[in-house]
Amino acid sequence: MSFYEISLLLSPKLSLEEANALVSTLESSLQNNGKIEGERKIEMKKLAYLIEGYENAWFSLINFYPQKSSQKSEILTSLKKQLKEEKNIIRHLIVKKEKVKIKKSSQRIAAARAKTEAQKKEAESLIKEPVKQKAGFEEVEERLKEMLGE
Confirm if 93 and 4 have CB atoms less than 8 A apart: no
Residue 125 has pLDDT above 80, yes or no: no
In this prediction, residue 129 has a pLDDT band, given cuts at 50, 70 and 90, of low
Domain 2-98: assigned CATH number: 3.30.70.60
- Over the stretch 55-70, which tens digit does the pLDDT of each residue have? 999 999 999 888 876 6
Domain ranges of the chain: 2-98, 105-148
The pLDDT of residue 134 is 72
Amino acid at 58: W
Q: Which is more confidently placed, 55 or 128? A: 55
Separation of alpha carbons 82 and 61, rounded Å: 16
Please return the burial class of 22, using the count of CB atoms within 10 Å of its CB with bins 0-12, 13-18 and 19+: buried
